Chain A
Amino acid sequence: MNDGKKLLLSVKNLKKHFPIHGGVFYRHMGNVHAVDGISFDVHQGETLGLVGESGCGKSTLGKALLHLHPPTGGTVEFEGVDIDTVSVKRLREMRKEMQMIFQDSMESLNPRMSVGSILEEPFIIHKGEHEFDTAEMRKTEILRILEEVGLHESAFDKYPHEFSGGQRQRIGIARAIALKPKLVVCDEPVSALDVSVQSQVLNLMVRLQKEMNLTYIFIAHNLSVVKYIADRICVMYLGRVVEAAESQALYEKPMHPYTQALISAIPEPDPAQQKEKQVLEGDVPSPIKPPPGCHFHPRCPHAREKCKEDAPELRSIDGNEGHQVSCHFAEELFAKAAKPESR
Chain B
Amino acid sequence: MAILTVKNLVTTFQTDRGSVRALDGVDFTLEKGRTLGLVGESGCGKSVTSLSIMRLLPKPSGNSPEGEIIYDDGSDRFDILKEPTENLLKIRGRKIAMIFQDPLTSLNPVYTVGYQLMETLKVHFSKMSSQAMFTRAVELLTDVGIPAPEQRIHEYPHQLSGGMRQRVMIAIALACEPDILIADEPTTALDVTIQAQILDLMRNLQKKNDMAILFITHDLGVVAEMCDDVCVMYAGKVAEHAPVEEIFNHPQHPYTKGLLCSIPKLDTEQKSKLFEIEGMVPDLFSMPEGCRFQNRCPYAAEKCTQPQSPAQVKDGHEVSCIRHGEIGRNEE
Interface set of A (CB-CB < 8 Å, partner B): 20, 22, 29, 51-56, 59, 103-104, 106-107, 150-152, 154, 162-167, 169, 188, 191-200, 202-203, 206, 221-225, 227-229, 231, 247-248, 251, 261-262, 265-272, 274, 277, 279-280, 283-289
Contact = CB atoms under 8 A, between A and B. Distances in A.
A336 B40 CA distance: 43
Contacts of A268: 221, 224-225
Contacts of B39: 194
Given A150-B280, A265-B196, A104 B266 contact: no
A191 B189 contact: yes
Nearest to A209: B271
Interface residues of B, number: 69
Contacts of B162: 54, 59, 103-104, 188
Interface string B186-201: 0011111111110010
A283 B258 CA distance: 39
Contact of B42 (A194, A284, A288): A194
B283 interface: yes
A270 B268 CA distance: 15
Contacts of B275: 199
B322 interface: no
A164 B263 CA distance: 21
Contact of A55 (B142, B163, B185, B259): B163
Contacts of B259: 194-196
Contacts of A199: 262-264, 274-276
B248 interface: yes
User: What are the 3 A-B residue pairs with the smallest beta carbon separation, nearest first?
Assistant: A54-B163, A166-B42, A267-B221
B276 A200 contact: yes
A20 B40 CA distance: 41
B47 interface: yes
A197 B41 contact: yes
Given A248-B270, A286-B151, 5 more contacts: A53-B163, A54-B166, A196-B262, A199-B262, A287-B147
Given A224-B264, A286-B147, A51 B191 contact: yes
A270 B248 contact: yes
Nearest to B152: A286
The interface centre, meaning the residue of B40, B194, B244 with most chain A CB atoms within 10 A of its CB, is B194
